[in-house]
Structure 1
Amino acid sequence: MKRQVAERSGRDAENRAAHWLEERGWSILARRLKTKAGEIDLVARRETLVAFVEVKWRLRAADLDCAIDERRLARVAAAAEAVAQEYLVSGDDMQIDVILLAPGIPPRHIANAWQP
């Protein structure tokens, strides 16, 4: 039961993050994209920039600072590399972003969070 609640919370957070991005001019190209290297929560485009987005939800805003780590970002980056050719066209740039969500606070968007 706990796993189902976490799954539902994660999906709700991803939907909220997608809506938030769309309000800021991004188009959502894919959701919950599974690759051999891992899963990408959202793939979004704005002009010539494609962002592979990791979404994190926590019940307490104070827990957001520990929600993402280098290992998790590296996994998202590897997954993005595996599918980048499907979303990028000549002249496009790509980046790995993070959106952090918790009740009562606006989403926190960390653009270009992965810089190896």
Structure 2
Amino acid sequence: MPGISMKQLGDEYERRAAHFLSLQGVEVLICNYRCHCGEIDLIARHHDYLVFIEVRARRNPRFATAAASVDYRKQQRLLRTAQFFLQRHTKLANLPCRFDVITFEPRQSTTNDSPQWIRGAFTN
């Protein structure tokens, strides 16, 4: 998209993911949580779980999938950031936690890049 920065594009996908999740009954608590350890796109409550959500988008299907881009190194950074968050938000620390990924990827048959929700994308 000409004239749109990568940051603006990322923010738009995160907004779309938050909206999608709210339609699924997920309560989004925090968008763009940042600390010295890293960043988590969305932190939410889903049923009895505290969910840390990474939002990924790919516009070119020739490269690795959006889900595959959440590699081991990124997972470790998310884990450290989640631990830091839980140390500072002790009221939420007793909830079971889950790491989900919301992906936006172009489909072969359409230009629609509807979100795909991968629950429990990885574990600690």
Q: Work out whether the TM-score is over 0.5.
A: yes
CA–CA distance in 2 between the matches of 1:34 and 1:105?
27
Identify the residue that residue 44 of structure 1 maps to in structure 2: 44
Higher mean alpha-carbon deviation, 4-13 vs 103-112, is at 103-112
- Number of aligned residues: 113
CA–CA distance in 1 between the matches of 2:49 and 2:32?
19
Identify the residue that residue 77 of structure 2 maps to in structure 1: 75
2:28 aligned counterpart, secondary structure: strand
1:25 aligned counterpart, secondary structure: coil
Unmatched tracts of structure 2, length 5 or more: 107-111
2:121 aligned counterpart, secondary structure: coil
> Pick from 95, 99, 103: which aligns with 1:100?
103
Cα distance change of structure 1 residues 82 and 64 upon mapping to structure 2, 3 Å threshold: same
Residue type matched to 2:113 in 1? I
CA–CA distance in 2 between the matches of 1:102 and 1:84?
31
Residue type matched to 2:55 in 1? V
CA–CA distance in 2 between the matches of 1:53 and 1:83?
13
Residue type matched to 1:10 in 2? G
Over residues 63-112 of structure 1, what are the superposed CA-to-partner deviations in whole Å (9 max), with x where a residue is unaligned?
4253221111111111011112516154x211111111134232111111
* 2:94 counterpart of 1:115: no
* 2:22 counterpart of 1:22: yes
2:120 aligned counterpart, secondary structure: coil
CA–CA distance in 2 between the matches of 1:65 and 1:54?
9
TM-score (norm 1): 0.85
Give the C-alpha shift of residue 13 in structure 1. Answer: 0.5
CA–CA distance in 1 between the matches of 2:19 and 2:77?
24
Unmatched tracts of structure 1, length 5 or more: none
CA contact (8 A) 1:61 1:101 kept: no
Cα distance change of structure 1 residues 81 and 65 upon mapping to structure 2, 3 Å threshold: closer
